[in-house]
Amino acid sequence: MSAAAALWLTVVGIGLYHGLNPAMGWPLAVANGMGEHRPRALFATLLPLGGGHLAAMAVALLPFAWLALYVEWARPIRLGAGALVLLFGVFLLVQRRHPRALARVPPSRLAWWSFLAATAHGAGMMLVPFMLKLCEETQEQGAHGALMAALARSSLVMALAVAAVHTLAMMTAGLAMAWLVYRYLGLRFLRSAWFNLDAAWALSMVAAGLAGVATAW
């Protein structure tokens, strides 16, 4: 398997992981479906959740994609990004409280809630080391002029592609989990088998940061 293929699989895997995490909103889809007593309401809820998540990924990735244009600073940028993700993961391990602002967003603004939830949890930051490595695949030392402009466009397109692929995987996993609970398991499952992924999420941030630092050398 090529390095690029492995990186894309990682992006998809992180998307599936985010989708299964209840903090990214699939319980809201279940609640909406059960509240209106129709599956269509469940599917309709996932669209704004996915849109907000996509926006959060793009906001996190695009600045780093732009910085990746500066080829001569590629290693420091990747080391800094990996360290930033690592430190944020450590912060989440120490500070487990969820932002109170999320509780004040009304259900009618699911896309906004999804954007804030993904941003507060550092979901987009988790992708930064892998996106930078994918951008590196398209760059050459000594590029300038028209080629630099082409590289800038390719890096930004890469960031958007990573955000889109990741969000599709996230929505697929979230939809599967929401449908499973809505159709077969019911709310009793959430009450009796609820699990807290805060620590696992923080550790995954630390792992992503370490991976970014390791691959930058």
**pLDDT values of the chain reduced to their tens digit, one per residue, 217 residues:** 677 788 899 999 999 999 988 888 888 888 888 877 777 888 888 889 999 999 999 999 998 887 766 655 667 777 778 788 888 878 877 776 655 555 555 556 888 888 988 888 888 888 988 888 887 766 544 444 454 455 556 778 889 999 999 999 999 999 999 998 888 777 666 665 455 567 777 888 888 888 877 776 6
* pLDDT at residue 141, rounded to an integer: 41
Q: In this structure, what token pair is assigned to residue 80?
A: 């800094």
* CA distances for 182 relative to 24, 108, 169, 178, angstroms: 17, 20, 20, 6
pTM of the model: 0.82
* pLDDT at residue 69, rounded to an integer: 65
Nearest to 34, CA basis, from 192, 205, 210, 182: 182
* pLDDT at residue 145, rounded to an integer: 47
* pLDDT at residue 190, rounded to an integer: 64
Left, alpha or beta for 122 (phi > 0: left; psi -120 to 50: alpha)?
Answer: left
Nearest to 199, CA basis, from 54, 92, 53, 49: 92
